[in-house]
Amino acid sequence: MESFANPDEFVGNLLSLQADSLALIALYDQDDVLRYANRSFRAAYNIAPDEQLSWSAIMRRNYEAGVGTVLKTANFDDWLVSTQSRRGKTAFRAFETNLVDGRWLWMTETVQPNGWMLCIASDITQLRADDRRLRQDRDLALRASQTDELTGVANRRFIMARLDALVSRPPEPEGVKGCIAVLDIDNFKSINDRYGHQAGDEVLLDFARQAHSFVRRLDCFGRIGGEEFMFILPGTDLGEGVRILERVFTRIRSARPLKAWPEFSYTCSAGVTALRSGDTAPEVFSRADRGLYLAKLEGRNRINVV
């Protein structure tokens, strides 16, 4: 490590340059709450010097005020779920984004193992507009390839890639690598048969929205097919994984997603397993899926640990 004759002077200069930089610099904690932002970032996203808001609160306020990032959506909550399905789920991500004031930014997100994330954006407005459109089309295509079209959460391709990445990582110092859960909406065919496929889609959307609200920075949640979904919980032991699922189950049991049938309610089942040394992604997925199958056999509306 390089040493400096006057460390205090070095740190002071670094902080001063960072604060005055034209680049947009921000640091979010593991709960996605803004802990530091320089003047350029705060000005771009309408944040007061003393505010420490969550990223979702910043984006919601800017969307409602018509400032900050250009969001081409008629439903902010749908956009939020879709974006949070990818935000902070990989160690590094780079993409382009445009602001309401006309600027075009190149944004990078660097995520530490503890969930803290550094965001740095550079102004690339001067690049040729035609090139920008091509790159934006590329980014939109990539996003579509990672997103479930109906629910807006991560799709099977994206979440299976995250599972591959997790099983390849060394365990945490305390030996906990993580756990995964496979969840399924109970009696979903009966819901479709009785209320119609449009109602079935509304239940799927509700389930995705309710379950996704429990996703932490390093967690991942997505739809893997039909009425089946998966949670990936890195660095989480089975006990904590079950507690998270129990909170999801409580929320689902109280949900009433069908306006035409206000008394309608539904439940789900889950299989959960811890990652073990030497596991492959297919092995750990198969084990959790078997747990789900057993939960169904045991009467549904329950969690089976395998």
The catalytic site residues sit at 227
Which position has the token pair 């109970």? 186
Cα separation of 249 and 215, whole Å?
14
Task: List the structure tokens of 272.
Answer: 């959960």
Provide the H-helix boundaries in the chain. 7-20, 39-44, 55-65, 76-84, 129-145, 156-168, 188-195, 197-212, 238-254, 281-297
What is the radius of gyration, based on Cα positions, of the chain?
22
Any idea what the Cα angle at residue 49 is, between residues 46 and 55, rounded to 5°? Answer: 55
Of residues 149, 14, 70, 85, the one with CA closest to residue 6: 14
Residue 47: phi and psi, rounded to 5, are -115, 125
CB atoms within 10 A of CB 113: 11
Beta carbons of 139 and 68 less than 8 angstroms apart? no
Cα separation of 160 and 177, whole Å?
16
Of residues 127, 67, 61, 118, the one with CA closest to residue 96: 127
Q: At what angle do helices 197-212 and 76-84 cross, to 10 degrees?
A: 60
Query: 8, exposed or middle or buried, with CB in 10 Å at 0-12, 13-18, 19+?
Result: exposed
